Structure 1
């Protein structure tokens, strides 16, 4: 009975549990799903067996679907995507056709829509914002580039976005209720989150730092360390099992990947950070088309990438969002839930902006951290909950940002359709 209650509690966390959450989920399924259906049914970009990588914005759809991606970055993703691929092939009767693409795309729609529900749960249940503010922040977040692209893209980032959003909401509830994170959640978080992207495993352990009086009780420290050790041990064992216990191969491959993806680019560092790491995950810039080919040079194709911003308005837009985030941290510097979000974001800042790993295509990594932005904006609203004038100013500002974001991203999405119509019909 106790196990059943825990399972039902888990379902209530992951899935909509109120009418409002149900309507939100349904809204995003319809909105994202219409876009996903149109793209998958009419164009081959979601999955084309001839294209090994980088068909659009550096997403490796075919490689991810077929193998789960490289083991050095996605150690357990092959097990996960084997199930997804086989399910899609079952629906399409073992053919890589439009039905196959539709299954992949619509699964992505469901996953991103569920992730959006997690954001609403956090804003509504953890921060406890008024409904109209929560819905405005959610509408703003729902228009982010990351959400639009991942809602039809079968990638590790798509599922990472959901798993991180769920774990963040779950851990916030536990911290709020002065309860420890369970052994089961630690293990599942490590395997599912770290298994899809190895660097994200550290985010599973960040909430342990903020459990009630953990640094004042040796017993609590010991239990927390044992949870981390056991969950990391399970993850490492599964990882080594996939490698046939050849750890040297992992070390060599990791070095190769870092050398490949951290070389300096012509674009200035500040512009890559603003236009791609922050901006490219929120506000579409203009696009660049490049010529690509497969390994054997037997098939040539066009690939689409994001350019840096060309308009001062775009930089101002991103600057305002960053200002709101810094303002939120400043106003809530004593709030441990805010620091869970900040430290989680800093992990990606260090990896991409400091170590420069993949910074030139950092707009694809939004699934690892972009969910932090609406939550921190929510905490900013919370800090002014009893002050009408600042609250009205913030609400008006966010509404203007949302309208501009919608117009810009829908316009750029139209350009994306033109690219598909020209090269992927």
Structure 2
């Protein structure tokens, strides 16, 4: 048991001096940003604003209730702990100390997420250190990481848990060992409990276990592990809603109708600007008048469609590089795992159109795929110096544009805070 705990801590937290240095770098950068926002502005948590203060995040609603049960079945329990801990630190007040605690919890989680990506690049793909750090810096500038580093939301913790599980399952696949039923159950409960659509992703790595489809015993063992995880999850979900399962279907249908029927913007543009783009490269912002349905009016900030051709070029080039990586590594089981996971989100948001007009907020479900596929692309050409040079130059240019754009957009975000949330 002692060895299992040691292995768990080495898995989740920095376990080498390099990993510790990476963690300290990101926790400092994100921490400065989040601390400043928490101390000087009330946007992270304002008791009068239930949702949509910025980019459609539901900070107060999530912290107080865990979110809607049909989309976030078990997050009620998780955020009870988060809220009570923050209130304990702040002495029961929802003041700057309360906001600072929430921001630092998010900061720690996103910094740990960066460590999981680094571990994957270093230990699974086995890239040289300088490529790992380069890709990690590129990933660290993504809009999703910047925003979630101070945002107390389901997506913040989902991003970390999904990245952690992808690294854990990748280790199991490399060692050619099975993912235990307990690990599958815990992953299903935590990942699927925070966002129900991610529950299926937990079982994708199982499909690539050694000799799964060549031996009936292996297939039966896998089916049993999946069944155990599913039963545990379903029972906890049903217990959460007092076994009134009819409500799940009615509420789910209502949510789908609400978030899938937006006709004001072209579908192709929402896919590029919001789903593939907004999670990485900030678009422009628009300010909207909002109210909390109890007489309080406030301003909300949303992302709009891209207006610069350079932004579309950036997104299209990123998509082309990811497709290139997938095609080049088609026979690679690790690449298949992360691509299938990403494909699941593409179907939900781009094909079924669920939340497509605000799909930039769903980056926590899949944005980690980009640095991992980038790493596999570099790995595929490890013996081709000329191609590596071209790839490094291409991503360097992308990084410069990404940094310039996102820093500028964050300055606009601070203008919004100074105007309405001091």
Give TM-score scaled by structure 2 length. 0.99
1: CA distance, partners of 2:263 / 2:15 = 47
Could you tell me how far apart the structure 1 residues matched to 2:151 and 2:14 are?
A: 23
Structure 1 counterpart of 2:190, from 185, 189, 192: 192
Q: Where does 1:20-419 land on structure 2 (aligned, <5 Å)?
A: 20-296=18-294, 298-419=295-416
TM-superposed deviation, 1:243:
0.3
Query: Residue 365 of structure 1: SS of its match in structure 2?
Result: helix
Deviations 1:340-389 (A, max 9, x none): 01100001000000000000000000000000010001100011000000
Distance 1:378 1:41 in 2: 37
Can you list the C-alpha shifts for 1:125-154, whole angstroms capped at 9, x where unaligned?
100011111111000000000000000000
Pick aligned residue for 2:419 from 415, 419, 422: 422
Asked if the contact 1:265–1:360 (Cα under 8 Å) also holds between the matched residues in 2, the reply is no
Q: CA deviation at 1:6?
A: 1.5
Kindly state the Cα deviation for residue 232 of structure 1 after the two structures are TM-superposed: 0.8
**Contact 1:111–1:162 (CA under 8 A) maintained in structure 2:** yes
Whole-angstrom distance in 2 between the partners of 1:11 and 1:223: 28
- Deviations along 1:275-305, one digit per CA (max 9) or x if unpaired, are 0001000001110000000123x10000000
CA positional deviation for 1:184: 1.5
Structure 1 residue 249, shift from structure 2 partner:
1.1
Residues in 1 aligned to 2:248 and 2:330: alpha-carbon distance in whole angstroms? 39
Deviates more, 1:262-271 or 1:74-83: 262-271
Q: Quick one: distance in 1 between partners of 2:282 and 2:134?
A: 20
CA distance in 2, matches of 1:347, 1:225: 21
Runs of 4 or more, structure 1, over 2 Å off, are none
CA RMSD in angstroms, aligned pairs only: 0.6
CA drift at 1:4: 1.7
| Alpha-carbon distance in structure 1 between the residues aligned to 2:369 and 2:257 | 29
Q: Which whole-Å CA distance do the structure 2 matches of 1:61 and 1:320 have between them?
A: 33
Distance 1:424 1:171 in 2: 42
How far apart are residue 10 of structure 1 and its match? Answer: 1.3
| Whole-angstrom distance in 1 between the partners of 2:182 and 2:281 | 37
In structure 2, C-alpha distance between the alignment counterparts of 1:87 and 1:202, rounded to whole Å: 30
Q: Give how far 1:265 is off.
A: 2.5
Q: Deviations over 1:221-279 (max 9, x none)?
A: 11111111111111111111110000011111111101100003211111000000010
| Counterpart secondary structure, 1:289 | strand
| Matches of 2:76 and 2:95, distance apart in 1 | 22
**Runs (5+) with no aligned partner, structure 2:** none
Q: Give the C-alpha shift of residue 211 in structure 1.
A: 0.3
What count of residue pairs does the alignment treat as equivalent? 422
SS of the equivalent of 2:288 reads strand
Structure 1, unaligned stretches of length 5 or more? none
CA–CA distance in 2 between the matches of 1:358 and 1:4? 44
> CA shift at 1:213, angstroms?
1.0
- Tell me if structure 2 keeps the 8 A contact 1:205–1:228: yes
